[in-house]
Amino acid sequence: MNIGEFKLVNNRLLGSIATRTIDLPRLGLRPVESTNDKAPAYEIVALNVGNRWVQVGALWEAVARNTTGEAFLQGSIDDPSLPEPLPIALFGTTEEGMRVAWRRPQRRDDFGMATRTGSRPETPEGGDGFGPSTAGNDGGLMGGSGRFDEDEPIY
């Protein structure tokens, strides 16, 4: 769902985001200059009530995992006034404008198993990486007394 847009205005990327409960009419994207590979590409800034630009988020460069391989920006907007961070993605170019997209994160069922995409990495032994169980068939601890002594430290 598209919830906003950014355009190049006087050599600055300015835009807005609006939903039913959020109205951010003046946002800016400030390029981040860093040699760190993990640094964001842009800081998202907004005008506060005192008419000052304050950082409210960040965007990182990403590439679509589909057949198009389209480059886009992804990140989130967060502020104490919001109930939770707002994840966003920007598609388009700085010259032609970028549209802001939002998608509700998929939540897992609290009682069901988590659904994962792809396969789990296997250990060289072919197991799941957790090693052998320390519980016997009756559920008790194998290879010990099954109790903790007060004199022994618990780690």
pLDDT at 31: 96
Which of 91, 75, 96 lies closest to 2 in space, CA to CA?
Answer: 91
Q: What is the mean pLDDT of residues 80-98?
A: 92
Which tokens hold the place of 154? 């618990």
Domain ranges of the chain: 2-101
Q: What is the mean pLDDT of residues 131-154?
A: 60
Lowest mean pLDDT segment, chosen from 42-51, 84-93, 113-122: 113-122
pTM of the model: 0.66
The model's pLDDT over 22-75, given as tens digits with 9 standing for 90+, comes to 999 999 999 999 999 999 999 999 999 999 999 999 999 999 888 788 899 999
Amino acid at 1: M
pLDDT at 149: 53
pLDDT at 131: 61
Which of 40, 33, 92, 36 lies closest to 61 in space, CA to CA?
Answer: 40
pLDDT at 146 over 60: no
Q: CA–CA separation, 72 vs 122, rounded Å? A: 32
Q: CA–CA separation, 84 vs 78, rounded Å? A: 7
Q: How confident is the model at residue 83 (pLDDT cuts 50, 70, 90)?
A: confident
pLDDT at 68: 83
Q: CA–CA separation, 86 vs 88, rounded Å? A: 6
